[in-house]
Amino acid sequence: MKAKVLVVGCTGQTGRIIVEKLLANNQVDIRYCSRRQEQVDEWQAEGKEAVLLDLNEPRTFGIALAGIDRLFILTGYTVDMLLQTKTLTDAAVKANVSHIVHWGIFANWDCTEGHFAWHQLVETYIKASGIAWTNLHPNYFMENLINVTPIVDNKFVMFSGKARWGWTSLDDAASVAATVLEEGEKKHNGKSYWLSTEALNGDEAAEILSEELECKITCDIREPEELETLFNSGNTDVEITYAKNAVDIMRQIQDGRMTYMGTIRDDVPYVTGKASTTFREWVRQHKAELLPV
């Protein structure tokens, strides 16, 4: 019998790729979930097994989790993630889920930045639940150059000055998640996988982008205070508590408390058996999405 897997966030950029990989490999059964009933209806009309799951409404958890063996937990950029993961983990205990795979962040254990600390708190809670666990620790997504700070007028913005980040391809990180969900707790219980393939600052990334896209791309290097001003302007829909912490990440990377964000720690080949995607390879693969109009 195949294990049944629930991927939280499967309409998002990460979850969507994980589901594609699980479908392609056909080693587990998938139950789709969304907080939007119309999305659930659409999946069901396509013959997929799908349920309503709203992370802010624990009354949706029982039906969503009944009969699930392996649960992938992904949350968004709000302080609600604390309560969401706590209540979902409790529900997983009641539903006899055998393995939780958590999508976290790349941080040292004694990190003091808020959003990263929230991830660490829920990881500790999951470990204490008694359910087998695997924690994934992706660093900066290469896809941020498409979805968060895209190239506009041959420039992209970075708010941490000249500091380096460790970049990871979302496809590689999702491959790790899919492999863990397929192989399950017997192989992956109690493991933390670190996903940071290549260390580059904005100028170094811009140089590779220029070479591969065959046009001059520059990094518009900004300071953390400028990100704070942007958030305070009210022109973004970023939650205020998260926003404060996002600025703090930039400050801590610059002042040395989080320079480890610019380091390489790459477990992709160990889990998937494949080489990680370099930044240059990723740019080649995504030329059409990156090329400035």
Ligand X SMILES: NC(=O)c1ccc[n+]([C@@H]2O[C@H](COP(=O)([O-])OP(=O)(O)OC[C@H]3O[C@@H](n4cnc5c(N)ncnc54)[C@H](OP(=O)(O)O)[C@@H]3O)[C@@H](O)[C@H]2O)c1
Q: Which residues bind ligand X (CB under 6 A)?
A: 9, 11-15, 34-36, 53-56, 74-76, 103, 105, 138, 140-141, 144
- CB-wise, 3 or 52, nearer to ligand X? 52
Residue with tokens 């939007």: 36
Find the shortest distance in angstroms from Cβ 107 to ligand X: 10
- CB-wise, 16 or 130, nearer to ligand X? 16
Find the shortest distance in angstroms from Cβ 176 to ligand X: 13
- CB-wise, 75 or 175, nearer to ligand X? 75
d(CA 96, CA 152): 48
Find the shortest distance in angstroms from Cβ 13 to ligand X: 4
- CB-wise, 104 or 184, nearer to ligand X? 104
Find the shortest distance in angstroms from Cβ 141 to ligand X: 4
d(CA 19, CA 9): 10
Give pairs for 82-88: CB < 8 Å, separation 24+. 82/118, 82/121, 82/122, 84/55, 84/56, 85/122, 85/125, 85/126, 86/122, 86/125, 87/58, 87/61, 88/8, 88/55, 88/58, 88/61
Find the shortest distance in angstroms from Cβ 43 to ligand X: 12
Give the tokens for residue 265.
């720690």
- CB-wise, 1 or 55, nearer to ligand X? 55
Torsion of CA 17, 18, 23, 24, to 10 degrees: 70
- CB-wise, 130 or 164, nearer to ligand X? 164
- Nearest position to ligand X, beta carbon: 12
Find the shortest distance in angstroms from Cβ 216 to ligand X: 25
Torsion of CA 82, 88, 93, 98, to 10 degrees: -100
